[in-house]
C-alpha cells in the first residue's frame, strides 16, 4: 500500500542546519517537496540560492529552486554568517551547480506550485519569513489552498540573536508579524525545542559513517557554530520537518502570538501570551518541549535513508 505524501514547499536560507532539514525532507517517504524557495538570511540570497542548488544536485532529486527576497521588508539586512560561515555551507566541497533556477521569483513560484497542486500545500519556512509575507500579501485568495504553515522561528522564552529575539524572526519582524496575523493554521517550532534538539558527539560520528550524505554533513558540522561538537550541535531547522512527520515528539499548546516590530531592545521578539494577559484568540500552535532522545534516533534514521 502506497504511503500518502504530504506536499511541501520549503522556504529556506541554507545554512548548515537547513541542509540537514532539506536532506531529511527530500528523502522521507511521507513527504513530497514540490519546491525550494530561497531568502536572504544566514547569508545573502545569491549564496542561499547557490547552496540550495548544490544540495539539490547532491541529492539528485531535481526539485525546482526559486530565488526570493534579497532584503527584509523594512529592516536592514543582517546575516548570520558568524554561525554558518562566509558561504553558508562551508566544510564540504560541492561541485558548482549546473541546474538553472526557476524562471520566476520565489513568490510567483509558490503561487504557481500551489495552483498546480491537487492537494493543499504545507509551507515550511525555515528562514526569515519575507517570501511568505510577500506571497500572502500578493495572493491572499490562495490562502484557502494552504494546508498549514510549520515554521522554524521564534521563542516563548529567551532569544538567540538578541536577549529576547530568535534570528529568523528578528531578521524580518514585519514579515513575521504579517504571517502570524494571517489567520492560517500555524505551528511555531522555536528555540524552546530547537535548542534542546541537539546531536551529540557520538551521534555526529555515527552519521559520518552512514553514507555519502552523512559524510557531507559531518564535514560541514566541523564548521557549524550552532552549538558545539563537544556539547552537541543544535538541529534547529530539522525540528520543523520532525514536527510534520512525527508530531508526537513534541509538547505543544495554542497561544496568541504577536511579533514586536519596533523597540530598541525588543524588536523581533515573539510575544507568546501564555497567561492570556491580552485576552486574544490563540492563533499559533507553539512547540514547548521535545523528546530529545527520540528526536536523535529519528534524525539518524532520516539521514540513513539519503544517498
Q: To 10 degrees, the CA torsion angle through 131, 23, 6, 44?
A: 0
pLDDT tens digits along 246-300? 999 999 999 999 999 988 899 999 999 999 999 999 999 999 999 999 999 999 9
Determine how β-strand 284-290 pairs with β-strand 186-189: parallel
Residue that is written with C-alpha cell 559524510 in the block: 215
pLDDT tens digits along 221-239? 988 877 777 789 999 999 9
What b/e string do you get for 73-86 counting C-beta neighbours within 10 Å, with b at 16 or more? Answer: bebebebbeebbbe
What 3-state DSSP class applies to 261? coil
- Residue 95: pLDDT band (50, 70, 90) is very high
Q: CB under 8 Å to 96, separation ≥6 — which residues? A: none
pLDDT tens digits along 165-174? 999 999 999 9
Contact 250, 290 (CB under 8 A): yes
Question: Which of the residue ranges 68-82, 102-116, 186-200, 233-247 would you say has the lowest mean pLDDT?
Answer: 68-82
Is the backbone of residue 99 left (phi > 0), alpha (psi -120 to 50) or beta? beta
Distance CA 129, CA 69 (A): 10
Residues annotated catalytic, as ranges: 236
Question: What phi and psi values does residue 272 have, to the nearest 5 degrees?
Answer: -105, 110
Q: Which of 21, 37, 14, 80 is nearest to 237 (CA)?
A: 21
Amino acid at each position: 500500500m502506497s504511503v500518502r505524501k504530504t506536499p511541501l514547499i520549503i522556504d529556506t536560507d541554507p545554512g548548515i542546519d537547513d541542509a540537514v532539514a532539506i536532506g531529511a525532507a527530500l528523502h522521507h517517504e511521507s513527504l513530497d517537496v514540490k519546491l525550494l524557495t530561497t531568502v536572504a538570511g544566514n547569508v545573502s540570497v545569491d549564496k542561499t540560492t547557490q547552496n540550495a542548488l548544490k544540495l539539490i544536485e547532491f541529492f539528485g532529486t531535481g526539485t525546482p529552486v526559486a530565488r526570493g527576497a534579497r532584503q527584509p521588508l523594512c529592516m536592514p539586512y543582517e546575516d548570520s554568517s558568524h554561525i554558518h560561515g562566509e558561504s553558508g555551507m562551508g566544510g564540504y566541497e560541492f561541485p558548482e551547480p549546473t541546474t538553472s533556477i526557476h524562471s520566476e521569483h520565489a513568490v510567483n513560484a509558490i503561487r504557481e506550485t500551489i495552483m498546480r497542486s491537487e492537494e493543499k500545500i504545507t509551507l515550511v519556512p525555515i528562514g526569515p519569513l519575507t517570501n511568505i509575507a510577500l506571497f500572502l500579501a500578493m495572493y491572499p485568495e490562495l490562502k484557502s489552498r494552504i494546508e498549514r504553515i510549520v515554521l522554524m522561528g521564534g521563542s516563548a522564552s529567551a532569544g538567540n540573536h538578541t536577549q529576547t529575539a530568535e534570528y529568523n524572526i528578528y531578521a524580518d519582524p514585519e514579515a513575521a508579524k504579517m504571517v502570524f496575523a494571517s489567520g492560517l493554521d500555524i505551528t511555531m517550532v522555536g528555540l524552546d525545542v530547537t535548542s534542546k534538539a541537539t546531536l551529540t558527539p557520538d551521534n555526529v560520528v555515527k552519521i559520518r559513517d552512514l553514507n555519502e550524505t552523512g559524510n557531507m554533513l559531518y564535514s560541514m558540522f566541523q564548521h557549524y557554530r550552532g552549538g558545539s561538537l563537544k556539547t552537541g550541535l543544535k538541529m534547529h531547522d530539522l525540528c520543523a520537518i520532525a514536527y510534520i512527520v512525527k508530531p508526537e515528539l513534541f509538547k505543544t499548546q495554542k497561544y496568541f502570538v504577536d511579533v514586536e516590530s519596533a523597540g530598541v531592545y525588543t524588536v523581533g521578539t515573539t510575544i507568546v501570551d501564555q497567561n492570556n494577559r491580552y485576552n486574544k484568540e490563540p492563533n499559533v500552535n507553539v512547540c514547548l518541549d521535545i523528546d530529545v532522545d527520540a528526536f536523535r534516533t529519528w534524525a539518524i534514521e532520516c539521514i540513513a535513508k539519503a544517498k
